[in-house]
Amino acid sequence: MSGSDDLFERAKRTIPGGVNSPVRAFGAVGGTPRFAVKGDGAYLEDADGNRYVDLCQSWGALLFGHGRKEIVDAAAEAAGRGTSFGVPTEGEVLLAERIVAMVPSVDQVRLVSSGTEAAMSAIRLARGATGEDAIVKLEGCYHGHSDALLARAGSGLATFGIPRTPGVTAGAARDTFVAPFNDLDAVASLLEANAVAALIVEPVPANMGVVPPDPGYLEGLRRLCDEHDALLIFDEVITGFRIAPGGAQERFDVIPDLTVLGKVMGGGFPCAAFGGRRDLMEQLAPAGPVYQAGTLSGNPVAVAAGLATLDLIDREDPYATLEETAEDLEAGLALAFETNGIDATINRAGSMLSVFFREGPVRNFRDASEADHERFARFFHHLLNEGVYLPPSGYELWTLGTAFGDTEREAVLGAASRFTG
């Protein structure tokens, strides 16, 4: 078995940049990406036999840790009956019923295979339903890599400092207005000056690092959208099933028109969804005229893993424990940084958190980008050497799952307390 260095050298010959998604390449922190061979609960094992406490957890997709038995068993059992049919299955009905029961805004839901596809399709539906072309997004929020949604996005674009990307047409860019997050006046001005199909937002952005909404901000977006006949879309790809069973809309009690879901709901498999008000969702083909489709949509293996995940949520109701664990981790990190004289702001919502090396508050993308990202790179490598794997960018979130316990917390805090700058 080759180690990570060898594999990365080989990968770069046949895969652009050696990776299948840019942030994996360690571009922001330097060094060689670790190639995974195994995950086990809170731990990740690499191709050189190193074991890490994993705070990336497949970018938030794993609420119950790596290789959770019930999820793996459900997927294996489904795969044994067939990996793809291209005809409907009972599992899809069960998963749709479960999502409708859990997520307040969702009367109907369509399954797709990635968050990108879900967000892109929700935008098309909003345009089809309203007859308007323009959309509003918030700076630093990431909604996947479809053309309309790449303007001043977070995640990999923020990590690599890419304000816009070649290949997005001038028309797509022209139809996307961008406002700073946590600034209602900026949104009001855009909505007053332009007819807009929808405003899309991560209710708790996590792709510029975690940036919680100011009190009243989400309510303000709801009111402004209503006043200007724009649809409100919550992208809950990260927050969905993570910060409450019904996501941020349940936690903050603000109900969007459409919701985009992914990550946790697939239990680590390619499964995502968009859903919302019945009158809007019924505009989708074949019920209505707005076209959207997918060969692998509702894939039986992914659906079985998703159902097993939502079953575990029902059975274990993990949110209070996750909140407590994350709170302890946050407090311990704050103490470690303070003891070592390091300026840091920790933003947290439930089991999602981010460390920004700067004084607070961090309320928007500009604040996040003014953090000391070189210090983050040093911190990342310090932790990596001590057996803790963080997402390799200061613009990404750390996520905790139920597999993260006292031992793992002590390992992370011990390593953080030895970081001196």
Catalytic center residues: 142, 235, 263
Enumerate residues 253-272 that contact ligand PMP by CB under 6 A: 262, 272
Q: Which positions from 127 through 146 interact with ligand PMP, judged by CB under 6 A? A: 142-144
Q: Is residue 43 a contact point for ligand PMP (CB under 6 A)?
A: no
Q: Which residue is nearest to ligand PMP (CB)?
A: 115
When the beta carbons of 245 and 266 are compared against ligand PMP, the nearer one is: 266
Interface characters, 149-188, with ligand PMP (x: CB under 6 A): ------x---------------------------------
Q: How far apart are CA 239 and CA 249, in angstroms?
A: 9
Task: Count CB neighbours of 176 within 10 A.
Answer: 21
Cα(371)–Cα(357) distance, integer angstroms:
5
Query: In DSSP terms, which residues pair with 54 in a beta bridge?
Result: 389
Least distance (Å) from ligand PMP to the CB of residue 91?
20
Name residues contacting ligand PMP, limited to 182-241 (CB under 6 A): 202, 207, 235, 237-238
Residue 214 gets which letter from DSSP? P
If we measure between CA atoms, which residue out of 270, 205, 240 comes closest to residue 21?
Answer: 270
Distance CA 243, CA 103 (A): 12
Between the CA of residue 298 and those of 79, 114, 307, what are the distances in Å? 13, 11, 11
State which of residues 116, 249, 354, 369 lies at the interface with ligand PMP (CB under 6 A): 116
How many binding residues for ligand PMP (CB under 6 A)? Answer: 16
Which of 8, 59, 64, 252 touches ligand PMP (CB under 6 A)? 59
Separation in Å, CA 200 to CA 234, 238, 407: 6, 14, 39
Can you spell out the DSSP letters for 237-249?
A: TTTTTTSSTTHHH
Q: Is 365 in the site for ligand PMP (CB under 6 A)?
A: no
Angle between helices 300-316 and 90-102 (to 10 degrees): 40
Least CB distance from residue 146 to ligand PMP, whole Å? Answer: 9
Candidates 154, 223, 163; CA nearest to 188 is: 223
Length in residues, the chain: 421
Q: How far is the CB of 142 from ligand PMP (least distance, A)?
A: 5
Q: Applying CB under 6 A, does 115 fall inside the site for ligand PMP?
A: yes
Least CB distance from residue 309 to ligand PMP, whole Å? 15
State the residues that interact with ligand PMP by CB under 6 A.
59, 114-116, 119, 142-144, 155, 202, 207, 235, 237-238, 262, 272
